[in-house]
Amino acid sequence: MTLQPISQIHPEALYLEPREHFDKALVGVVASPIDHWPRVESMNVAAYNIDLCVNAIQQWLGCTEIEAAEWFEYNTAGAWQGEGTPTFIAPEL
């Protein structure tokens, strides 16, 4: 999976909402995400850092890290919204 600049995102790609919280977790664009969703190979989708998403949820909802991680898994990472669904990447160690 190769991360590309945000400028290369497909016009139909989706962003996480609310953007004022999740945009800081947006790290690039991926043409061939490694996830479990069925995808068109030529569509560049938004790629978000998982840890930064969890932090954004904590700030947005005012909850604990564990609650935010559960919310992320169920409501964000587990939500198929069509071909433009974002992908999520683990931070590099």
> Could you give the CA distance from residue 92 to residue 85 in angstroms, rounded to a whole number?
22
Exposed e or buried b for every residue in 38-64, given b needs 16+ CB within 10 A? Answer: ebeeebbbbbbbbbbbbbbbbeeeeee
Compare 86 and 10 and report the one with higher pLDDT. Answer: 86
Q: Place 1 in a pLDDT band, splitting at 50, 70 and 90.
A: low
What is the model's pLDDT at position 83?
85
In 1-93, which ranges are E strands? 3-4, 26-30, 45-49, 87-89
Give tens-digit pLDDT for 26-60.
998 888 787 888 877 778 899 999 999 999 999 99
Global pTM reads 0.87
Give tens-digit pLDDT for 48-92.
999 999 999 999 999 999 999 999 999 999 999 988 899 999 987
